[in-house]
Structure 1
Amino acid sequence: MDSHTYDSIVLGMGCFWGAEKRMAAIEGVIDVESGYAGGDDLHTDYHQVLDLEKHLRTGLAEKRNHAEVIKVTFDPEKVSLIEILAKFWENHNPTQGDRQGNDVGSNYRSAIYYHSEPQKHLAEHSKACYQKVLHTAGWPAITTEIAPLRHYNRAEEYHQDYLQKHPHGYCGLGGTGIAFPLSECAAQLND
């Protein structure tokens, strides 16, 4: 039996297809699962998320929609949460609000959904670290939502490992090109 204790965090980086592929490439990541989280409905599916977004855009709904997210399960003995968050910040544009690439809507928002106070602290600390280097490079404020995880739903099977199954499928992720200051940010945690 495996004696490792794994941890997980739920991240929104726009469309979950590209996010899943990029985060799965990190050494020490055990599993990446596409899903939905952060909305008002307890249970949801892909079509319900899209329908609610249409209604929100036309003023016919007021509920908070779910974001497309990925649940990243990792081995803390092989990769730290700060390293996971560094890749999160670098692999999408966290300053765009409710969009990534051609994908527009609150369901494509940038988000970190934590399950503990230490995760919350680290998420907020990493955001401050990245905002500092983005500001220096002339980028606007980060719009990433940092909130407790609520109403997580696993996405349909056809969304899981989508870009592995469809290597030429769409991925709207494009980072800012600004590196996350990992060494400096991690060192500040020990001060």
Structure 2
Amino acid sequence: MNNKNLEIATVGGGCFWCVEAVLQQLKGVEKVVSGYTGGKAPGRPTYREVCSGLTGHAEVVQVTFDPSIISYKDLLVVFMTSHDPTTMNRQGADVGSQYRSVIYYHNEAQKETAETVIKEVGEYYDSPIVTEVSPLETFYEAEDYHQDYYRNNTSQGYCSAVITPKLAKLRKMHADMLLDIPV
């Protein structure tokens, strides 16, 4: 029987493949699911619709974690330092509102923590942080082929050019929080 008191965090920082690959490396993270939220278009969005930029949804990941191993604050610090939270609707070559930097909170305590982390981390950036902090409404799980994308496609061009360097940066900045398994 599982007696863990797990919590859920929902964040977006560009392509969900990148954020998923980074957060899967952390001790205490039980599950990471890629998906969409934050849009106003009716119905369940598809990847193609979200990529059009017309639905208003962001590519996000929903993270199930054990707060006795990794705190929500530490999870957000890793998230905020693994992408560029100072660029509006852009991460590298990925441009559009679906790639915005965003923290969707599940309760008031998460909202307060998110605001605190943004303020603290902001001191290390030359430009202002533009990360949105919004209440989570409906989370839609992305199509199956987006789940565990990096693990299943490590040699794919985008993965080796964009995600692998993010993981190298993660290992340098947050080695003490990482699982003891190869990427």
Give the TM-score normalised by the residue count of structure 1. 0.81
The structure 2 residue matched to 1:101, chosen from 62, 78, 92, is 92
Cα pair 1:36 1:68 within 8 Å, conserved: yes
Equivalent residue number for residue 162 of structure 1: 149
Following TM superposition, by how much is the alpha carbon of 1:69 offset from its aligned partner in structure 2, in angstroms? 0.4
Aligned runs of 1:137-176 on 2, under 5 Å?
139-169=126-156, 170-171=158-159, 172=162
Question: Over aligned residues, Cα RMSD in angstroms?
Answer: 2.0
Cα pair 1:7 1:76 within 8 Å, conserved: yes
Following TM superposition, by how much is the alpha carbon of 1:45 offset from its aligned partner in structure 2, in angstroms? 1.3
Gaps of 5+ in 2: 175-183
Question: Is it true that 1:124 corresponds to 2:111 in the alignment?
Answer: no
What is the number of equivalent residue pairs in this alignment? 165
CA deviations on 1:66-86 (whole Å, 9 max, x unpaired) are 000000110011111111011
Could you say what secondary structure the match of 2:10 adopts?
strand
Could you say what secondary structure the match of 1:17 adopts?
helix
CA deviations on 1:28-79 (whole Å, 9 max, x unpaired) are 000000000111135211011123x2xx5xxxxxxx6100000011001111
Equivalent residue number for residue 61 of structure 1: none
Kindly provide the amino acid, as one letter, of the partner of residue 46 in structure 2.
D
CA deviations on 1:98-128 (whole Å, 9 max, x unpaired) are 0101100000000000010000000000000
Q: Distance in 1 between matches of 2:57 and 2:100?
A: 9
| Larger-gyration structure (1/2) | 1
Cα pair 1:10 1:69 within 8 Å, conserved: yes
Equivalent residue number for residue 44 of structure 2: 43
Give the TM-score normalised by the residue count of structure 2. 0.84
Q: Distance in 2 between matches of 1:68 and 1:49?
A: 8
Q: Distance in 2 between matches of 1:154 and 1:132?
A: 34
Cα pair 1:17 1:163 within 8 Å, conserved: yes
- How many percent of aligned residue pairs carry the same amino acid? 40
Q: Distance in 2 between matches of 1:2 and 1:77?
A: 14
